[in-house]
Amino acid sequence: MRPQRRVTVFAPSPQLTVTIEELDGIPEMHLHAGGQGVWQARMIVSLGVPAVLCAALGGETGNLLKHLIPDEGIELVAQEAHSRNGGYVHDRRDDKREPVVEAPGEPLSRHELDGLYEKTLVEGLRSKTVTLSGPSTGQPVPADMYRRLATDLRANGCLLVVDLSGELLEATIEGKPQFIKVSHEELLDDGRASSDDPPALIAGMKELSRQAGDASVVISRAADPALALLEGELYEIEAPPLHPMDSRGAGDSMTAAVAASLTEGASLLDAVRLGAAAGALNVTRRGLATGGGDSVRAVSDRVELRRITSEGEAA
So what's the architecture of 5-307 in CATH? 3-Layer(aba) Sandwich (3.40)
pTM for this model (two decimals) = 0.92
Q: Judge residue 223's burial from the number of C-beta atoms within 10 Å of its C-beta, 0-12 exposed, 13-18 middle, 19 or more buried.
A: exposed
Cβ distance 221 to 124 under 8 Å?
A: no
Number of neighbouring beta carbons within 10 Å of residue 273: 25
Cβ distance 247 to 264 under 8 Å?
A: no
- The domain ranges of the chain are 5-307
Cα distance between residue 175 and residue 288, in whole Å: 29
Q: What is the pLDDT along the chain (315 residues), one digit of tens a residue?
A: 678 999 999 999 999 999 998 888 899 999 999 999 999 999 999 999 999 999 999 999 999 999 999 999 999 999 999 989 999 999 988 878 899 999 998 899 999 999 999 999 999 999 999 999 988 776 678 999 999 999 999 999 999 999 999 999 999 999 999 999 999 999 999 999 999 999 999 999 999 999 999 999 999 998 789 999 999 999 999 988 776 555 566 889 999 999 999 999 999 999 999 999 998 887 666 555 556 778 899 899 999 999 999 988 887
